[in-house]
Chain A
């Protein structure tokens, strides 16, 4: 294997991991605070991608990258008010089924507006070319995606660690009752986290446009990946989700190169192995 081939594979793994990281972080954040696995997350990501397609055509890629997460944050507020808050206290299975239902409602709505034919989004002209890296020409958009993906997660980690609202989020995810007794407004915090989680899904959707095809199946496909990553990373753990995303990316790439016939099974084998070896996942607990 040549150096340039190896470098390309590492970059491929990181590009895939970065997209999954953004999505899985949003999912982990909501789970950490609400204890609800949001099965509508894949559909929210798909909605973000379609909104990104439309906004990109009328406003351009860069405005879409700002505009769509804001719209999706509003969708997150609606999700919080209409689903997460009224059903808080229900069992995890109930919440999973309810959010799955929300996703199933959103999908036909997307079909209605945009149709079922796949759509394509071009990268912005400044990122359309390739750049030389250690003897290989590598697409600039993938490098941008990798940087933005991991940069977003670092920003999220800094927010959780260094701000009052971040500290409150960590506190509520560990001991909601005590946090409330200490004066933390959990409803307001939950609203913030739901908005952030869905904004992340929308952000990932816009970023995915020039990377993948925008199509009706994109949400359900990536939801399974995200669930694996969140479980492997440790339920509700942001740091764990980042590590698990990178491991997932490398497993996919290594599998495709060296064990192509088993590549499709690799994520599930990882899930089984982690559940046996370390059932709590890579992370140290919720929202860490």
Chain B
């Protein structure tokens, strides 16, 4: 009898705790969870990520929100490990009552989070990670991705690498999931073009001294591929300049390395680098022009690719909520699958088979800014999603 009583009381407590959360998603603002990292190399992006999400929510709310409700941003910071990301996402889902999560998500975090999403009953729209694994074994029903993954980046680079005439390559990549998968994809691509990768080095996150890596990369090759991110990218760029490393190569390519959000700190250390470019504020279309104007007014600068990916992730979520007429994750997931949407990127499609957005990607060269102060991107080319994305992998199970 006592056991039944205890169970009944516990049941009532659970009901009391869960009911307000459940009902809060049927009325009032639609809560969007934003994960940000407050320590380590990715901490440098925290404020920018938050601002990008706030502006995106402002834009969508000014357009009327969804289902007559406004969007509300719930920010959850964490220490930057996969475990802390899972813990932060759990807090967002179970305590803050969000039904959609986005934000800073390195590949290892995406891999850790994706299997948990169904049990947390949230949709995750990833505008950050790049690992190929999320197109194969990492696929999950509630995981969707806006960012272009490594195989797509490698496919996009293929034309450029062939045109560059560089046959021998050295690689330096971040020693974590994304760096390894990209290095593998790039090496295979170079092989397929009849070239060879002479050195493929991996530098741990937070490396202080790249001197030994730079000395090894000084061994002759025609091309250098750099896949380093955040503050690691800045440290490497600065130290290579002191050694004159880039001057020894015919072509230097970057993947996530020379990015606009870090141009102030990178300065002329990355002049001449040809980097992946997934978005440029000059992209055609009225919707993009309006977004650029709003963003520039609020942030005092034009939007970069991370800002735009955040915006597109939220545009897709808004459209899926309107289509499904609910914020219930299972229904929103169905609406997102195969969703064709008019976004700041133009008309794009969220591929149903692997939950990846078929979107544009290209390359830009770092040149001196027109005003002579600092550096800027000169767009070399942008290709459309259907031109670049490989067919969905049979390994990817989203149901």
Contact = CB atoms under 8 A, between A and B. Distances in A.
A117 B50 CA distance: 13
B91 interface: no
A12 B209 contact: yes
Interface stretch (A24-32, A150-158, A174-182, A250-258): A250-258
Contacts of A92: none
Contacts of A257: 212, 215-216
Nearest to A117: B44
B208 A221 contact: yes
B397 interface: no
A215 B43 contact: yes
Interface string B198-212: 000111101011011
Given A16-B209, A256-B213, A257-B216, A120 B234 contact: yes
What's the dominant secondary structure at chain B's contact region? helix
B259 to A, nearest CB: 11
B47 interface: yes
A117 B48 contact: yes
B40 interface: yes
A31 B204 CA distance: 30
B23 interface: no
Contact of A137 (B44, B46, B244): B244
A141 interface: yes
Interface in B184-234: 201-204, 206, 208-209, 211-213, 215-216, 230-231, 234
B265 interface: yes
B264 A117 contact: yes
Contacts of B206: 217, 221
B82 interface: no
Could you say which of A9, A11, A117 has the most chain B C-beta atoms within 10 Å of its C-beta?
A117
Contacts of A5: 215
A120 B267 CA distance: 8
A118 B265 contact: yes
Interface string B227-269: 0001100110011001110000000000000000110111101
Nearest to B203: A256
B164 interface: no
A252 B44 contact: no
A120 B238 contact: yes
A263 interface: yes
A141 B242 CA distance: 8
A36 interface: no
Nearest to A129: B242
B338 interface: no
B36 to A, nearest CB: 9
**Interface magnitude class on chain A:** 35 or more
B211 A16 contact: yes
Contact of B262 (A15, A118, A142, A220): A118
Contact of A116 (B47, B201, B213): B47
A51 B235 CA distance: 18
A261 B180 CA distance: 11
A256 B212 contact: yes
Contacts of A116: 43-48
**Interface magnitude class on chain B:** 35 or more
A263 B204 contact: yes
B208 A16 contact: yes
A111 to B, nearest CB: 8
A270 interface: no
A238 B332 CA distance: 61
A9 B212 contact: yes
A213 to B, nearest CB: 4
A238 to B, nearest CB: 21
Interface in A198-233: 210-213, 215-218, 220-222, 225
A212 B43 contact: no
B41 interface: yes
A142 B209 CA distance: 11
Nearest to A120: B265
A123 B242 contact: yes
Given A5-B215, A215-B43, A264 B175 contact: yes
Contacts of B47: 111, 115-117
A285 interface: no
B39 A220 contact: yes
A249 to B, nearest CB: 8
A140 to B, nearest CB: 8
Given A118-B230, A123-B242, A253-B212, A212 B44 contact: no
Given A9-B212, A212-B208, A117 B265 contact: yes
A171 interface: no
Contacts of A115: 47
Nearest to A8: B215
A213 B215 CA distance: 19
A9 B242 contact: no
Contacts of B267: 120
A63 to B, nearest CB: 22
Contacts of B216: 256-257
B208 A216 contact: no
Could you say which of B44, B213, B261 has the most chain A C-beta atoms within 10 Å of its C-beta?
B44
Contacts of B242: 123, 128, 130, 139, 141-142
A1 to B, nearest CB: 10
B176 to A, nearest CB: 10
A123 B243 CA distance: 13
B241 to A, nearest CB: 9
Given A117-B262, A253-B212, A261 B231 contact: no
Interface in A253-288: 253, 256-257, 260-261, 263-264
A117 B39 contact: no
12 contacts: A116-B46, A120-B264, A123-B242, A128-B242, A130-B243, A139-B243, A211-B238, A212-B238, A215-B230, A217-B206, A253-B211, A256-B203
* Complex A-B, nearest 5 residue pairs according to Cβ-Cβ distance, in ascending order: A12-B211, A139-B242, A213-B234, A215-B231, A264-B204
Given A119-B264, A128-B242, 17 more contacts: A15-B209, A16-B211, A19-B208, A118-B234, A118-B265, A120-B266, A130-B244, A212-B238, A213-B234, A215-B231, A217-B40, A221-B40, A225-B208, A253-B211, A257-B215, A261-B202, A263-B204
